[in-house]
Each structure stands twice: as structure tokens, then as C-alpha cells.
């Protein structure tokens, strides 16, 4: 007879250390949960997980209440809306392309085994007692996996061998694999050091061979060049190709034919967690609120998804149910930012923190110079001992890429946070100056001039329906590695720097705990003793309780419902509410739309700079006529109506810029 939850408290402890990775199929999940629970109970990590669990439970309870309150009339209406949208998405299905996803098998661990053959057949993890970057398949049989603290992994597998990370080695082997990919698709998309997406349509057509043969050939070539094995998945789009590459790991492949019936059959029994963009939290909500366990059930419950989620999020779920994903192949593809970060044992030693910062600056500079990049915005990321994530950023007058310049400005950002106890540190540079290096602008990247229209422009072309359908079909293509370098597409800016008072704005924003309630405060100075910058990350979004500029906030929805919220504070901080809604304008973008979110935050940043420039140079701003003021006031009222929480509609970006 099974014990109660009181007897086995770990069973309700929804740890992120699932057994979903390849090579962990036979692991005793209950044992892993129990060990993680016992080893972390009472720690800062445990307390942070409890806060997350409480937030998820509250969110699920709210959604269940909304679910129960839907009437038959409501469901009938939403079913018609969903059916219409599903037909539109189905019409966009593209079966003309053949995509291949290559994923190296336990890459870091495999490279270390190649360097030291005595490790072969032994349970081994790359990392330390603090954090593991990856584990080989022998270690995974015990429940050991990436992003797990080493002391927990050692408890699960007492014979576990730790090998320190060596990114120079991993980059070398990654470059070798990419030379192979280049031969089959010059425009291949690198998801991370150990994975890539290739459009093999033309290769198959030119050589008159099947995709299965090309997959075998690529895997053989990678092994010949590196001595490492990889797995491959072939499908009509990138989303499904990534799922397929995981089916026959390690050292295997799976081909999904370019046939609608085959796709729908494949997707019918596919667990939702297998889809890129659906993580632990989304999975829990879909299962506990809607009873959705497989991708096919997304369509069965389409009316409920339409009723309780934004249109963009519902569209993503419909696309998953239809097996749709991205099939385009951008000819020019530039990164939005470049970053690296390191996880280490918790420390508040300022000397050690500055040493870590210097190492990050050196690595970041090397990566930037290797790619010929210079940037203006530098962001410092810190994760404290209590797992609070803080971000500080500065936008400079000049473009930089030297380690000296990066360290100089990063040290100022760090100084503003001291004293602080830190477990993770990262640096990111964005706002690149591609023109200086003769680079062709990314055709997918819009500039601010794209959004400026004359005051009399026709607004009819700015409706939500004009947004291309493919913007809602998302698949995760980037893999953020623990204790490793990665391309970071997220963006959160808090510009400040005393040396450039005309070009940089000092601001800070913080969330902190006070008697169990979280509060938000903004500050206009950079005194190290003042409130620190950053925000508490909860489940990939930011939520809070307490007071916000004198307004009571019970949950994230209230931010958009209260029109009287202080506008100056709104201009100072941009948050993604409920994981998908912009707190400044109400635009809805799910967390998997990484590049779209980046562009959106860039827009608000540019809008803010435009206002600051106007205030610095008031003489250059023409005096508005009464007609112009009246027109802007009308547009402002119209904008407020569009931001209504009830409507939840996308606000066209051009409505924010009007000029004569």
C-alpha cells in the first residue's frame, strides 16, 4: 500500500531534476526525488523551490476557477474561434522542406572520455561538487544529469568521477563538427556548441538520395572528424526534427516522413514535455488544469486553451497539436547578443568575485573579437545565495570589445551590488555595431524607422491579424548550458554610468523580501548603499506581492488592470507578466519567442531614450499645435483601451511613434 504524502513528502516536491533526458528511462524517479528532497531540505535552494511551488499552485488554482466558470455559451464561442484559427494554421503547413537536427551525445563528457580513455565505462560528470554541466550515460543510469549540484549527484552515485570543465577543448571539437555541417548546409543554425539544425532539402534533391542516407552520412562524417558520436532527427520542420533526434539516442537517428498523416500519427501520442518551449511549469499547468498529457489533446481542448490563454500562446499550442514548426531558412543570421556565465560555490569574497569577473571579461572579449563584434550595452547578471537573480546594465557612448573596457565597466556594475553573496555570475554584450565591420544587416531585424509613421497614417493595417502566422509557431533552438558560454537572447536594461551622463541614464529597480511579502522600489542613484538593481525570477517570469509605487499588487494581472499606476515607474521597468504579457504596453509574447521579446524590449528602450533626448534638448522639440495635442490625446485614449486586460490584444508597435 502506498504511503501518504505526509509519510513521503518528497513525492509532492516537483524538482527540476526529472528523468526526461536520454539514457534515464529506467531510473527510479521516486528515489531521485527523495534524495534531492533530503539533500536540499532547509537550503536556500529548497526555500526558493518552495516559493516557486506556492506560486505555481496559486496560478493553477486561479486557472481552475476560471476553467470551472466557463459556460456552455462561452465554450461554444471559443470553439468557433479556435476552429477558425486551427484551419488557418493548417493552411500554412509546409511539407516541402527537409530539416535535420544533429545533437552530440553527452558532448562534454564524450570529449573528456576521448581525451582520457580510462574514463570509458565509468560513471562520470563534467563539473564539480557545486554544479554539473553534463553527465555520461553510465552516470545517467543513477539519475545524475546536467544542472544538478555535484553533492546530490555523488549521493545518487557514490562512484561518480568529476572532471573539471575545459571550454577550449569543447570549442575545438564543436568547430570540427560545424565544418562537417557546413558541407551540407552553409546556412545551418547552431543551437549551441553541441547541436545544429540543417536544411538538407537541396542536398537530397541534387544527389537524388533519401534523407535517411544523408543523416547516416553526416553522423559518419562527424565521427570520422572528431571520434565522437551524435544522434540525428529528420522531419518536415525544426520543432519535430529536434524531437526526433532524441528518440534513438545515443548514436542513432529517426526519420519522420514529409507526410501529413505521418506527422499527425507521430504527434498523437507524443508527451507534451518533449516539445521545445514546454517546460516543467507549462507541463504542470496543462496537465493539472486541462488534463492535457499528449500533443494531440491540445486540439481536443482547443476551446479551453482559447478561453484561458492569450491568442499567441493558444496559437503555439494549436501548432504543437498540428505538428507545425518553423521551416524557413534565413540566409543571413546575426546574433543579438553574446554572453557567458559561470556557476561556482557561494562566496561573498570581493577579491574572488573580481577575479571571476576578470575571467568572464577575458572570455567574452575573446569571443567578440573572434566574431568581429563590438557592442554598447553591457549587462551583469548575478544569482545570489538565495537564488535571486539581479541584472545591472549600462549603455555606453562608445562601442567596446576589449577585455580591459569590458572589465572596467563591469567592475562598476559589480561595485553597485556589493556586498553580496553570489553563486553565479554572467556578462552579456548587446547592441552591436555591425556597420563598422561591413556586415550586412540581418533582414529579419527591423530598425526603429520601421515603426515611425506620419500622424495621418492609416491605422487599418496595424491590426493583430496582420502579424504573420509563423510568428506564433515557435520551437526552441537555443540551449543555455550550465557553467558554460552561450548566446543569450534575453534582454533587460537598466542603463547607468556616471562617466557618460548625457548618454547614459542611471536607474535601478529591485524586488526584495520583507516579512514574506515582496516589494518593488525604484531609485535614481547609483549609490552602492542604495536599493540594488534586478528582479526575482520566478518560473521564467517575474511576479510579486506587496506595494508598487503605493499601489497594492496581489498578482501580476493587477498591473495592467490599474490604469492609475504611476507612469514614471512604468517607464523605469519592463516585466513579462504571467510569462507572456509586457507590463508597459500589454503586448503578448510567450517565453519561447526569444528574438521577438528582444526586439520588443529594444523598442521600449529606444522609446525611453527618445524621451530622454527630448528632455535634454527641449529647444529642438517643436511646440505642438492644439490639433496635434488633440490627436495624440485621442490616440492615447485609444491605446489605453487596447491595453485592457479583458481584450488582451496585441498593440501594433507603430502606435507608439507619431510625428508630423
- Where residue 372 falls (left for φ over 0; alpha for ψ -120 to 50; beta otherwise) is left
Contact 132, 148 (CB under 8 A): yes
Cα(590)–Cα(370) distance, integer angstroms: 33
Do 184 and 222 meet the contact criterion of CB atoms below 8 Å apart?
no
571 burial class (0-12, 13-18, 19+ CB within 10 angstroms)? middle
DSSP 423-456: EEEEEEEEEE-GGGGTPPPPTT---GGGG-EETT
Closest CA to 389 of 490, 311, 304, 297: 490
Contact 203, 290 (CB under 8 A): no
User: What DSSP state is assigned to residue 538?
Assistant: B
Task: Round to whole Å and give the CA distance between 204 and 356.
Answer: 48
Among the listed residues 196, 162, 202, the one whose alpha carbon sits nearest the alpha carbon of residue 179: 196
Q: Known catalytic residue: 296?
A: no
Element spanning 551, H or E: strand 551-553
Do 370 and 172 meet the contact criterion of CB atoms below 8 Å apart? no
Q: Which of 195, 296, 388, 518 is catalytic?
A: 195
- H helix and E strand count, the chain: 21, 21
Closest residue by Cα to residue 583 from 595, 594, 571: 571
H or E, element range at 340: strand 337-347
Q: Distance of CA 176 to CAs 171, 180, 228, 413, Å?
A: 9, 7, 11, 37
First-residue to last-residue Cα distance in the chain? 76
Q: Is 101 helix (H, G, I), strand (E, B) or coil?
A: strand
For residues 133 and 120, give the distance between their C-alpha atoms in angstroms, rounded to a whole number. Answer: 18
Q: Say if CB 305 and CB 298 are below 8 A apart.
A: yes
* 230-235 vs 253-255, strand pairing mode: parallel
In whole angstroms, what is the distance from residue 311 CA to residue 454 CA? 29
CA–CA separation, 548 and 115 (whole Å)? 55
Alpha-carbon distance 611 to 347, whole Å? 40
Cell of 200: 538538407
- Going from the C-alpha of 312 to that of each of 123, 370, 499, 505, the distances in angstroms are 43, 37, 42, 33
* 3-class SS string, 188-209: CEEEECCEEEEECHHHHHHHCC
Q: Catalytic site residues?
A: 195
Amino acid at each position: 500500500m502506498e504511503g501518504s504524502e505526509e509519510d513521503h513528502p518528497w513525492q509532492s516536491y516537483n524538482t527540476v531534476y526529472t528523468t526526461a533526458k536520454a539514457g534515464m528511462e529506467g531510473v527510479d524517479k521516486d528515489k531521485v526525488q527523495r534524495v534531492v528532497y533530503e539533500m536540499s531540505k532547509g537550503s536556500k535552494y529548497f526555500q526558493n523551490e518552495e516559493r516557486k511551488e506556492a506560486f505555481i499552485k496559486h496560478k493553477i488554482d486561479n486557472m481552475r476557477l476560471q476553467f470551472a466558470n466557463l459556460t456552455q455559451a462561452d465554450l461554444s464561442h471559443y470553439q468557433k474561434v479556435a476552429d477558425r484559427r486551427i484551419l488557418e494554421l493548417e493552411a500554412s503547413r509546409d511539407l516541402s522542406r527537409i530539416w535535420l537536427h544533429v545533437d552530440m551525445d553527452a558532448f562534454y563528457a564524450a570529449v573528456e572520455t576521448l581525451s582520457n580513455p580510462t574514463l570509458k565505462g565509468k560513471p562520470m560528470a563534467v563539473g564539480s561538487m557545486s554544479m554539473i554541466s553534463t553527465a555520461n550515460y553510465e552516470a545517467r543510469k543513477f539519475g545524475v544529469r546536467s544542472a544538478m549540484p555535484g553533492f546530490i549527484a555523488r549521493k545518487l552515485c557514490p562512484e561518480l568521477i568529476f572532471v573539471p570543465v575545459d571550454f577550449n577543448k569543447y570549442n575545438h571539437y564543436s568547430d570540427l563538427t560545424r565544418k562537417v555541417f557546413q558541407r551540407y548546409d552553409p546556412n545551418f543554425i547552431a543551437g549551441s556548441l553541441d547541436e545544429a539544425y540543417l536544411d538538407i532539402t537541396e542536398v537530397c534533391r541534387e544527389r537524388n538520395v533519401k534523407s535517411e542516407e544523408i543523416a547516416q552520412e553526416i553522423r559518419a562524417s562527424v565521427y570520422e572528424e572528431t571520434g565522437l558520436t551524435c544522434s540525428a532527427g529528420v522531419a518536415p520542420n525544426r520543432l519535430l526534427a529536434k524531437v526526433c533526434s532524441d528518440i534513438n539516442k545515443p548514436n542513432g537517428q529517426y526519420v519522420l516522413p514529409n507526410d501529413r498523416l505521418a506527422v499527425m500519427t507521430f504527434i498523437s501520442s507524443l508527451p507534451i514535455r518533449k516539445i521545445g518551449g514546454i517546460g516543467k511549469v507549462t507541463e504542470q499547468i496543462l496537465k493539472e488544469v486541462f488534463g492535457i498529457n499528449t500533443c494531440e489533446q491540445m486540439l481536443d481542448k482547443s476551446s479551453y486553451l482559447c478561453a484561458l490563454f492569450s491568442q499567441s500562446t493558444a496559437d503555439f499550442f494549436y501548432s504543437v497539436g498540428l505538428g507545425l514548426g518553423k521551416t524557413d531558412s534565413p540566409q543571413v543570421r546575426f546574433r543579438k547578443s553574446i554572453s557567458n556565465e559561470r556557476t561556482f560555490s557561494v562566496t561573498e569574497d570581493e577579491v574572488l568575485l573580481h577575479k571571476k569577473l576578470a575571467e568572464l571579461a577575458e572570455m567574452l572579449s575573446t569571443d567578440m573579437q573572434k566574431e568581429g563584434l563590438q557592442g554598447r550595452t553591457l549587462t551583469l547578471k548575478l544569482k545570489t545565495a538565495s537564488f535571486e537573480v539581479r541584472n545591472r546594465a549600462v549603455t555606453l557612448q562608445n562601442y567596446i570589445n576589449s577585455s580591459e573596457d569590458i572589465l572596467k565597466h563591469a567592475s562598476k556594475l559589480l561595485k553597485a551590488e556589493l556586498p553580496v553573496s553570489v553563486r553565479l555570475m554572467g556578462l552579456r554584450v548587446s547592441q552591436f555595431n555591425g556597420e563598422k565591420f561591413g556586415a550586412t544587416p540581418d533582414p529579419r531585424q527591423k530598425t526603429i524607422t520601421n515603426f515611425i509613421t506620419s500622424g495621418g497614417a492609416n491605422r487599418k493595417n496595424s491590426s493583430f491579424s496582420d502579424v504573420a502566422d509563423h510568428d506564433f509557431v515557435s520551437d526552441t533552438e537555443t540551449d543555455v548550458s550550465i557553467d558554460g558560454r552561450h548566446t543569450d537572447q534575453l534582454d533587460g536594461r537598466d542603463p547607468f554610468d556616471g562617466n557618460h551622463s548625457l548618454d547614459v541614464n542611471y536607474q535601478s529597480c529591485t524586488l526584495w523580501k520583507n516579512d514574506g511579502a515582496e516589494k518593488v522600489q525604484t531609485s535614481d542613484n547609483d549609490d552602492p548603499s542604495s536599493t540594488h538593481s534586478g528582479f526575482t525570477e520566478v518560473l521564467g517570469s517575474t511576479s510579486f506581492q506587496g506595494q508598487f509605487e503605493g499601489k497594492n499588487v496581489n498578482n501580476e494581472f493587477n498591473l495592467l488592470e490599474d490604469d492609475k499606476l504611476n507612469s514614471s515607474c512604468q517607464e523605469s521597468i519592463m516585466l513579462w507578466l504571467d510569462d507572456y504579457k509586457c507590463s508597459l504596453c500589454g503586448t503578448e509574447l510567450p517565453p519561447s519567442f526569444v528574438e521577438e521579446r528582444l526586439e520588443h524590449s529594444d523598442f521600449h528602450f529606444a522609446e525611453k531614450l527618445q524621451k530622454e533626448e527630448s528632455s535634454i534638448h527641449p529647444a529642438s522639440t517643436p511646440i505642438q499645435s492644439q490639433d496635434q495635442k488633440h490627436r495624440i490625446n485621442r490616440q492615447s485614449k485609444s491605446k489605453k483601451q487596447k491595453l485592457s486586460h479583458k481584450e488582451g490584444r496585441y498593440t501594433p508597435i507603430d502606435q507608439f511613434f507619431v510625428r508630423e
